[in-house]
Amino acid sequence: MADGTKGKKVLFICLGNICRSPIAEAVFQWVVKKQRGLVGWEVDSAAIGSWHVGKDPDQRAIQVMKRHSIPMNHQARQLKKSDFAEFDYIIGMDHDNISDIKADAPPKHNAVVELFGSYDPEKELIIRDPYYDDDDLGFVKCYEQCLRCSRGFLDSLSV
């Protein structure tokens, strides 16, 4: 088990960085600061693809976060090589994200690449992608999964 007593740098990744990964970023940041009272953590999110770079999160994601009083302040960006040196953990939302992250990784890096759902006590491995939904129900599901996984990840570090 890793030493969780000091802050870590965590980067969440999804395909476009406007739905799942900014939700994961916001929820994780909220759990770290508000629920656990931890300091010294750096949290960010990024995309595999470049389609949405510079854009705000999906409005449905923003609305779900507002309903839960969780601040969300992010503009989409793409995963870059320097992230593998800067972050302790690079966490993907699904198996395709993990494959793409590993394919983009430099030959030598210290970042731990993991599937966020592997920390879900309810064992839902894949974080729900709500992008093509007509309503916000998928965003609510994504929020719930990210909340459970955030707690599970921190519990695994004993913080």
Neighbours of 137 (CB within 10 A): 13
Rounded Cα distance, 69 and 117, in Å: 23
Whether the CB-CB separation of 61 and 139 falls below 8 Å is answered with: yes
CA distance 120 to 106: 28
Question: Which residues are marked as active site?
Answer: 14, 20, 129
Query: 56 — phi, psi (to 5°)?
Result: -75, 165
